[in-house]
Amino acid sequence: MELKQHFEDLKGVGVLATADDKGVVDIAVYAKPFIVDEKTVALIMLKKLNYFNLQVNPYAAYIFVDEKYQGKRLYLKKIGEENDQDKINPLLKHRYNDAETLKKDKALVYFELVKELPIIMK
């Protein structure tokens, strides 16, 4: 199944893990990624710990678990970001219609998909 189709059709929970320049890990719940193409994904990130970790260490891991405990593990490398709130907020509105979230400082962070694995290796 193509990656974009996979994420559009499923409901579940996503979790992003990052580490700072000393290897101290942070982990947080995240929405499904935006699939740019088969090798590029993007996440809207509030400017909190995971975001700041990516400023010093571009590597991250994202796991998505669906309602049947199936899903994907994505190993990522940051390749860029967009900080224009006027470009980010329209992407956010279709998932969240919360005025407070729209006001917060956030970034659309782009990642190269380094490796993709299922949650459970058979």
- Residue 39 pLDDT: 94
- Residue 1 pLDDT: 47
Domain segments of the chain as ranges: 3-117
**CB distance 110 to 76 below 8 Å:** no
pTM above 0.95, yes or no: no
Q: State the average pLDDT over residues 12-27.
A: 96
- Residue 96 pLDDT: 58
CA gyration radius for the chain? 14
Taking each continuous run of H as one helix and of E as one strand, the counts in the chain are: 4, 7
**CB distance 40 to 87 below 8 Å:** no
Given a cut of 60, whether residue 25 has pLDDT beyond it is yes
CATH number attached to the domain at 3-117 = 2.30.110.10
Q: Comparing C-alpha atoms, which of 47, 48, 59 is closest to residue 23? A: 59
Model pLDDT for residues 54-98, shown as the tens digit of each residue: 999 999 999 999 888 888 899 999 999 999 988 888 887 665 556
**74: which DSSP letter?**
E
